[in-house]
């Protein structure tokens, strides 16, 4: 296949809530372009873009997939993305390299949580955005309700370009108010679109909407506004040009109709993509970061410029190895092209360059600036890395992935699998940077932080299927702490005689409480040589070893000062070992008299939720011993700030998902330690005693 010039490219990402028709829309576009000869089915597991085993089993997209085809002398790169919120790392990575975003909206459900979320991403990346109202051929569909909800959520700049003549069973006719024509489709038959005049029955509504369209487009451009004031109308070509320009500046968001299951609206949508969606050149130069001085530079999509390409997705395939999805932002990319990884300065020499059709890889001679494809056999480059010609210091601004919040410990089922688990998770993290791996040294736990339960299940299943290793999940252990409420003193005396040289150490220790987060301090008030100076390091060592495992429930002891102030020694039997043991005995005796108690970690919690859920969320936080610190309004969202025990974070995650149908998001960070309630402390102490028994 010949290389395609930037002005002939259209890079489209299809996003939206789960089950809003993204994969079928990509499938119908592929069929209409002649890429495939029959429409695949999600239920049958034979669609072009949902091809992995876990996607077929779950009947949901879990990965970014790419297809391409040609229409009106343009190459269309179409990226299908997951709708489940747990996999929005892939959505953000795909949106990063696209030039236009299509947000699908199920006409039977209207605006859903995924609609809101991907809209926020389009604002973050400043992407041209169009809405596609889908499934108008389904029962209970309501085009007018969907449009009203979109305008309520995202503003009056959301403007219908089409409306259906009828909805539900038998739907096959659209009125297009840009063309001012009726579009009739023969369901399930590609290339069947028939264009006729609008019947009188729908003409009045079409003229009203057309006038609204003209006014909306005119408002986005001064020249068009003057033309509108002079003549009272704009030509179809002027409208098309104005819409394209307004898309780029995000001052206009057109809305189209498509029922991909029966190919209704698909052919017209392909024309829209080629005529209205911007090419890489029309989209404008890309923002880059100079690695030398961290300055920002603009990079034009010039095939004659230096080669600069950005890896937005990494995957591993059996018998192929690691494959890298990338977009070429400048210059060209060809097989064997020697490049550097701008971040690491490592030399990379890509193997064969491909363009992609689902799981099918089609070799190409080269990819030019603006195009999207795939390479194999990179040594060290991964997602978010920039590949460039030697001497180039521009780095493409990296993807900011959603923050994983659900923390779960994983345990190998088979003893000795720890290394296999670590290697497997490392490879999976290269494919999916939206989850995090942590090792808790205190409890020796491997902790996964994911975007949700489905995300966690998928990672565990992939560990088994790709790396043949099985794990169990467990709650993370909470790092409670122990401390004291009052000052106390005690003696520790270690004396042992069993023939020959004995052991003797005697020290008095005073414990004093310190301010929170002070830690542990040691001091000596020994005078007169009652304990020789040479034994004081051993006393300190005995005390420091004692605080690693507390007396109440075995948690580290914090926020106290230990002072050695008296004691005695034996000129022959005393030793460092004896004084270390004596110090630990003194600590235990003094700690038990100092009214010890448990501390628990509290976290700052910030929740972003629609207003209607605020009361339930506040109630749930309070029920989990959380403290509400304040609330603020942010456009359509309420921001709830609270303190919550770490032990309540995982139950809160599940409750928030249930209460808001996943419409809320949250973040958290460690705040401080506070005294644990008596019932919690008693439970932990009882568990420790049961372990000893």
Residue 439: pLDDT over 90: yes
58 exposure class (CB count in 10 Å sphere: 0-12, 13-18, 19+)? middle
Q: Which of 637, 627, 636 is nearest to 672 (CA)?
A: 627
Residue-level pLDDT at 624: 97
Tens digits of residue pLDDT in 214-243 = 999 999 999 999 998 888 889 999 999 999
CA atoms in the 13 A half-sphere facing the CB of 155: 8
Output the average pLDDT for the chain.
94
Residue-level pLDDT at 399: 95
Cα-Cα-Cα-Cα dihedral sign, residues 290, 293, 298, 303:
negative
Contact, 26 vs 98, CB < 8 A? Answer: no
Pairing state between β 9-16 and 481-484: unpaired
Residue 439 CB neighbour total at 10 angstroms: 10
Q: Which of 80, 119, 82 is nearest to 103 (CA)?
A: 119
Residue-level pLDDT at 57: 84
Pairing state between β 100-106 and 129-134: parallel
Q: Which residues pair with 492 in a beta bridge?
A: 507
Contact, 388 vs 394, CB < 8 A? Answer: yes
Q: Which of 28, 70, 71 is nearest to 49 (CA)?
A: 28
Residue-level pLDDT at 693: 65
Contact, 301 vs 6, CB < 8 A? Answer: yes
Section 130-141 average pLDDT:
96
Residue-level pLDDT at 340: 96
Classified as helix, coil or strand, 63 is: coil
Distance between CA atoms of residues 4 and 257, nearest Å: 29
Q: Where are the alpha helices (DSSP H) in 68-220?
A: 88-97, 113-125, 143-154, 200-218
Q: How confident is the model at residue 560 (pLDDT cuts 50, 70, 90)?
A: very high
Residue 318: pLDDT over 80: no
Contact, 74 vs 10, CB < 8 A? Answer: yes
Give the distance from CA 102 to its chain's centroid. Answer: 20
Section 388-395 average pLDDT:
91
Complete DSSP assignment for 162-200: EEESS-STT--EEEETTTTEEEE--TT-TT--EEEPPPH
- Say which DSSP state 647 is in: G
Residue reference for tokens 């252990």:
477
Task: Please state, for a pLDDT cut of 70, what percent of the chain lies above it.
Answer: 99
Residue reference for tokens 């009882």:
686
Q: For the whole model, what pTM was predicted?
A: 0.90
Contact, 456 vs 406, CB < 8 A? Answer: yes
Give the distance from CA 118 to its chain's centroid. Answer: 12
Distance between CA atoms of residues 171 and 184, nearest Å: 10
Distance between CA atoms of residues 597 and 483, nearest Å: 6
Q: How confident is the model at residue 182 (pLDDT cuts 50, 70, 90)?
A: very high
Q: Which of 298, 302, 280, 281 is nearest to 289 (CA)?
A: 298
Section 342-358 average pLDDT:
93
Contacts of 304 (CB under 8 A, 6+ apart): 331
Classified as helix, coil or strand, 26 is: helix
Residue 633: pLDDT over 80: yes
Instruction: Locate 433 and state its tokens.
Output: 């940077």
Residue 53: pLDDT over 90: no
Domains of the chain are: 6-197+239-283 (3.40.50.300), 286-396 (2.40.30.10), 406-474 (3.30.70.870), 481-594 (3.30.230.10), 599-681 (3.30.70.240)
Residue-level pLDDT at 276: 97
Residue-level pLDDT at 407: 97
Q: Which residues pair with 321 in a beta bridge?
A: 317
Q: Which of 550, 467, 536 is nearest to 507 (CA)?
A: 536
Section 616-628 average pLDDT:
97
Tens digits of residue pLDDT in 72-90 = 999 999 999 999 999 999 9
Contact, 372 vs 329, CB < 8 A? Answer: no
Contacts of 258 (CB under 8 A, 6+ apart): 21, 25, 28, 132, 133, 134, 264, 265, 266, 269
Section 631-635 average pLDDT:
85
Tens digits of residue pLDDT in 493-551 = 999 977 667 899 999 999 999 999 999 999 999 999 999 999 999 999 999 999 999 99
Integer Rg of the chain from CA: 33
Starting at the edge strand that comes first in sequence, how are the strands of the sheet with 162-164 ordered? 162-164, 173-176, 181-184, 194-196
Contact, 50 vs 19, CB < 8 A? Answer: no
Q: Which of 116, 112, 119 is nearest to 95 (CA)?
A: 119
Section 333-360 average pLDDT:
93
Q: Which of 253, 18, 15 is nearest to 112 (CA)?
A: 18
Contacts of 134 (CB under 8 A, 6+ apart): 20, 21, 24, 25, 104, 105, 106, 107, 257, 258, 259, 260
Residue-level pLDDT at 499: 67
Q: Which of 656, 618, 655 is nearest to 640 (CA)?
A: 618
Give the distance from CA 409 to its chain's centroid. Answer: 19
Section 586-605 average pLDDT:
97
Contact, 134 vs 107, CB < 8 A? Answer: yes
Instruction: Locate 523 and state its tokens.
Output: 């001091």
């Amino acid at each position: 296949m010949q290389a395609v010039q930037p002005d002939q490219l259209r890079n489209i990402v299809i996003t939206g809530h789960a089950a809003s028709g993204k994969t079928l829309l990509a499938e119908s576009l592929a069929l209409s372009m002649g890429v495939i000869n029959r429409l695949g089915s999600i239920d049958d597991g034979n669609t072009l873009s949902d091809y992995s085993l876990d996607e077929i089993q779950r009947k949901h997209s879990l990965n970014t997939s790419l297809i391409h085809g040609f229409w009106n002398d343009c190459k269309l790169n179409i990226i299908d993305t997951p709708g489940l919120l747990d996999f929005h790392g892939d959505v953000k990575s795909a949106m990063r390299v696209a030039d236009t975003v299509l947000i699908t909206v199920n006409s039977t459900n209207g605006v859903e949580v995924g609609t809101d979320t991907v809209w926020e991403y389009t604002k973050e990346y400043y992407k041209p955005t169009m809405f596609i109202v889908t499934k108008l051929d389904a029962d209970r569909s309501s085009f007018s309700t969907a449009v009203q909800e979109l305008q309520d959520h995202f503003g009056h700049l959301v403007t219908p370009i089409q409306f259906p003549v009828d909805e539900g069973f038998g739907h096959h006719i659209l009125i297009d108010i840009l063309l001012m024509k009726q579009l009739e489709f023969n369901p399930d038959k590609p290339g069947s679109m028939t264009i006729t005049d609008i019947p009188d029955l729908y003409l009045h509504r079409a003229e009203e909407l057309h006038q609204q369209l003209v006014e909306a487009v005119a408002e986005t451009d001064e020249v068009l506004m003057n033309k509108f004031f002079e003549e009272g109308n704009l030509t179809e070509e002027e409208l098309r040009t104005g819409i394209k320009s307004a898309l780029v500046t995000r001052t206009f968001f057109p809305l189209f109709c498509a029922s991909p299951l029966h190919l209704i609206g698909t052919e017209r949508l392909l024309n829209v993509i080629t005529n209205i969606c911007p090419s890489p050149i029309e989209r404008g130069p890309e923002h880059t970061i100079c690695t030398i001085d961290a300055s920002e530079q603009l990079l034009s999509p010039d095939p004659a410029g230096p080669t600069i390409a950005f890896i937005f997705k990494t995957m591993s395939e059996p018998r192929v190895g690691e494959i890298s999805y990338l977009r070429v932002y400048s210059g060209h990319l060809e097989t064997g092209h020697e490049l550097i990884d701008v971040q690491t300065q490592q030399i990379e020499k890509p193997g064969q360059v491909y363009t992609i059709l689902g799981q099918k890889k089609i070799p190409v001679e080269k990819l030019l600036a603006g195009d999207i494809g795939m390479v194999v056999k990179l040594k060290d480059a991964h997602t978010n890395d920039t590949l460039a010609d030697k001497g180039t210091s521009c780095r493409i601004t990296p993807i900011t992935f959603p923050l994983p919040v659900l923390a779960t410990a994983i345990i190998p089922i088979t003893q000795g699998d720890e290394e296999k688990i670590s290697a497997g998770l490392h490879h999976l993290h290269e494919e999916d940077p939206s989850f995090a791996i942590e090792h808790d040294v205190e409890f020796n736990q491997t902790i996964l932080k994911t975007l949700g339960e489905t995300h966690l299940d998928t990672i565990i299943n992939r560990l088994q299927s790709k790396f043949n290793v099985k794990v169990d999940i467990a709650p993370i252990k909470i790092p409670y702490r122990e401390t004291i409420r009052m000052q106390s003193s005690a003696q520790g005396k270690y004396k042992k005689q069993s023939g020959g040289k004995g052991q003797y150490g005697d020290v008095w220790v005073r414990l004093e409480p310190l301010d929170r987060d002070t830690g542990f301090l040691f001091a000596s008030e020994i005078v007169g040589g009652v304990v020789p100076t040479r034994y004081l390091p051993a006393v300190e060592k005995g005390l420091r070893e004692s605080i690693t495992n507390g007396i109440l429930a075995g948690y580290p002891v914090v926020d106290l000062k230990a002072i050695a102030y008296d004691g005695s020694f034996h000129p022959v039997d005393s030793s460092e070992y004896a004084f270390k043991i004596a110090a630990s005995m003194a600590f235990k005796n003094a700690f038990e008299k100092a009214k010890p108690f448990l501390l628990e970690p509290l976290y700052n919690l910030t929740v972003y939720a629609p207003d209607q859920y605020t009361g339930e969320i506040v109630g749930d936080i309070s029920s989990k011993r959380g403290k509400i610190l304040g609330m603020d309004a942010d456009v359509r969202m309420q921001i709830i700030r609270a303190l919550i025990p770490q032990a309540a974070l995982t139950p809160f995650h599940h409750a928030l998902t249930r209460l808001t149908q996943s419409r809320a998001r949250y973040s958290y960070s460690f705040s401080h330690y506070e005294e644990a309630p008596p019932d919690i402390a008693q439970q932990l102490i009882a568990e420790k005693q049961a372990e000893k028994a």
